[in-house]
Chain A
Amino acid sequence: MDLSLTEAQELLRNAAADFMKNEAPKTVVRQIDENPSGFSPEMWRKMGDLGWIGMLIPTEYGGGGRNLMDTAVIYEEMGRAALPTPHHSSAVTCALIIMQGGSEAQKRSLLPALATGQKIMALAFTEPEYGWGPEAVKMNATKSDGGFTLNGTKLFIPDAQVADQLLVAARTSSGGSPESGITLFVVEKGASGVSSRALSGFSGEKLNEITFSNVNVDSANVIGSVDGGWSILEPALDRATVLLCAYMTGAGAQVLDISVDYSNTRVAFGTPIGRFQRVQDHLIDIVNGVDASRYTTYEAIWKLDENKPGATESVCVAKAVSSESFYNLCDSAHHVHGGIGIDKDYGLFMYTKKSRSLYHYLGDPVYHKRRLAKLLNL
């Protein structure tokens, strides 16, 4: 047993921490967030130069061939900066789905561009009735000449505003179990019949509504077998989920640091507020949340990387804990801060916003607890 990072991972972490400090201070992060694209091409290029974009993609497809643990090190640091980036959508989630279910030809044609960051892909899974189980995929894809025709709406899709391609889950047959009948398609965002609109509101990521109106997709762009999409999605999404948890862990760790600093410098009643036990209670809730999130997440990552039994149970635990912890610890941080906590220049809200929008992303605590109940034979 060894719960430390390897020397190489420490180096990676230091490099990532330096990068975030220099390239992604809170003023820059806010600018990116306030930009309608929610994207900085310059930052994306720099991350590509460092080899971070494709780090999870195998070397034979132009990536860095790193495992989840190495990638999680970078994810914690991205979380610390509350960095808005399409990295998770494109080079993690979509790349993992293609790695899991794509043909050799598809891997060769799609993955290198995702690895360099030359192309960005977004997963279009959720719909107006929102959910992450197979039953939530209702949009139809009907067989047509040489391929399929897609009609319907995908909703709350992060990063679609900057994506070149979409990875769409649609229903090709119904009547069987919800798991069967889902098919995955790679669709060019510029394809005829695809329209997309970024939604406004309180979200850490730009969320989009995407409408498909008689969109024709060639059979060559089906990932995996027709009707067999769920068996590709489920393992790929588990892997994507734990990196999201690492991001939430890093973000929570930063919220802790911000709150401890503030408690030591803000003076009230003649003393730094951190001296008050009511304030300390909030700080303790924060650190407990961060550590619960961190160790459940890393255990799940270790199990996935090493093919240990019970990996899926651990993923469910990690996401349920991380979603709840991140949400609650941001609330605690706001209690510590009072008014300044909602001051935009102060920047705490960047984390809070993430804690709200990532709560449901890739499955909320209820979804993962239900999965867990099933896995535990309850």
Chain B
Amino acid sequence: MDFEFYYTKEQEEFRKEVRGWLEKNVPVGLHEAIDPEAGPYEDFLKGVEFRTKLAEKGWYAATWPKEYGGGGLSSAHKVIIDEELGSFDLPGIVHGDTGNGLFGPAVMVWGTEEQKRSFLPIVTSGKYVTWQCFTEPEAGSDLASMRTTAIRHGDEFILNGNKIFVGQLHDVDYLYTLAITAPDNPRHNNIGAFFVPANLPGITIGHLDLLVGGKRTIFFEDVHLPASQLIGGDTDGWKVTQTSLELEHGGAGSAVDNDRYMEKLLDYSRNTMRNGAPISKDPENQSALVDAYIGYQVNRLFGLRNYWMRSSRTPFTYEGSQYSLNRKIFNPKLAEIMLKVLGPQVLITDHPSAPYAGRLEYHIRNSIRIPHPGGTVEIQKLIMARRLGVSRTREQGAAYI
């Protein structure tokens, strides 16, 4: 076994090239957003512009085949790009969206050659924003009970329905969504998967007033969609979705650790005096901090293992959901430890005593949500049980390329 990435001379040269390019091209004048999901519109625009430039270099969808608009690079190159990008504090949009993260892989497995050639360059261009829109008011964990319909009329589908808790705060160009195409078919065999231009007549996108994040609600009202926007067959949507869900449920793993909350927590605790001693010297605090560190290491290793499994094409069973579950349990635990060790200062954004200029407050709010999107804690457990072979339902990992 070997837990480290090694780079050839050529790859180290590549790192220098990436670094040099980033230093010249990373957008300047970004705002210090207290809430990384609620940055201002002008930062979003700068982010999209920047990732388009990144895509022109072949570094946005780095490992995707060149004929589909990717960079055609190795996963080692991709890790280098992610590491270098990670050292800048950039808006989330720069690192990708559900277009190249979830929709693209599903098209690679289930799309026709023609669809690959027309859809993939859109999500690999960096220029267009895609949102995955699955959840509905009546269909969260029980995704298959969705009510949105897409009824075929010759060469087009007519969409009607409502999606919620999807997307992001600012603009969108395409929606990757699911709808019932065959209302009389049995469950799971009645769904189609679609790639929908967001500017079609009949689509309304509304805001939600949420505790955290910029999630949106979307209404489809007699939206006429060309049938060429259907991925797979009319009723293949559930299978198509499994490919994206496998990734969303932790199957992509993580090679680069961009979450700096752990480091921030330890650093702040070492260097901040409270009542005459560093915070970390209090035995209760010290023990909580070490527990956080250990939990963090386990989570990091699960992510690394999944990354390795995917890049070495090792078949998955429960591992994707195990990583997701672990993260969804660990993250709120970490928030509790932050609150316990650092005090009410972590709840405040605008006082000098707030650690890291108020940036931990977001983590406290976010940790309340983390257990739910992309499959709740309970759903991850359900999937794990199926794949351990004890449920009534038996299943294997979804198809992937």
List residues of chain A with CB within 8 A of the CB of B289. 373, 376, 378
For B, the interface residue count at a CB cutoff of 8 angstroms equals 43
Pair A295/B390 contact, Cβ less than 8 Å? no
| In the assembled complex, A226 has its CB within 8 A of some CB on chain B | no
Pair B391/A1 contact, Cβ less than 8 Å? no
Task: Tell me the dominant secondary structure on chain A's binding face.
Answer: helix
Pair B290/A1 contact, Cβ less than 8 Å? no
For A256, give the chain B residue with the smallest CB separation: B388
| In the assembled complex, A93 has its CB within 8 A of some CB on chain B | no
Query: Contact partner of B390 among A5, A264, A306, A372, CB < 8 A?
Result: A264
| In the assembled complex, A275 has its CB within 8 A of some CB on chain B | yes
Query: Contact partner of A378 among B5, B269, B382, CB < 8 A?
Result: B269
Pair B1/A288 contact, Cβ less than 8 Å? no
For the complex, give the distance between the alpha carbons of A377 and B325 in Å: 30
Pair A295/B290 contact, Cβ less than 8 Å? no
Range of interface residues on chain A? 35 or more
Pair A280/B389 contact, Cβ less than 8 Å? no
The interface stretch among A43-51, A79-87, A296-304 is: A296-304
A67 to chain B, nearest CB (A): 11
Pair A292/B381 contact, Cβ less than 8 Å? no
User: Given contacts A275-B391, A287-B388, A376-B293, is CB(A2)–CB(B298) below 8 Å?
Assistant: no
Query: Contact partner of A296 among B5, B266, B269, B298, CB < 8 A?
Result: B298
The 8 A CB mask of A266-277 against B (1 = contact, 0 = none) is 000000101101
For the complex, give the distance between the alpha carbons of A301 and B1 in Å: 9
A48 to chain B, nearest CB (A): 27
List residues of chain B with CB within 8 A of the CB of A283. 385, 388, 390
A62 to chain B, nearest CB (A): 27
Give B284-321 interface residues, CB cut-off 8 Å to A.
286-287, 289-291, 293-294, 297-298, 301-302, 304-305, 308-309, 312, 314, 318-319
Pair B298/A298 contact, Cβ less than 8 Å? no
| In the assembled complex, A208 has its CB within 8 A of some CB on chain B | no
For B2, give the chain A residue with the smallest CB separation: A2
For A325, give the chain B residue with the smallest CB separation: B298
| In the assembled complex, B367 has its CB within 8 A of some CB on chain A | no
List residues of chain A with CB within 8 A of the CB of B388. 260, 280, 283-284, 287
List residues of chain A with CB within 8 A of the CB of B260. none
Query: Contact partner of B2 among A1, A321, A372, A378, CB < 8 A?
Result: A1
For A371, give the chain B residue with the smallest CB separation: B290
Query: Contact partner of A1 among B4, B298, B314, CB < 8 A?
Result: B4
Pair A317/B294 contact, Cβ less than 8 Å? yes
Closest 10 pairs between A and B when the two form their complex, measured CB to CB: A274-B390, A280-B385, A295-B301, A378-B280, A369-B290, A292-B298, A3-B308, A2-B2, A263-B390, A373-B286
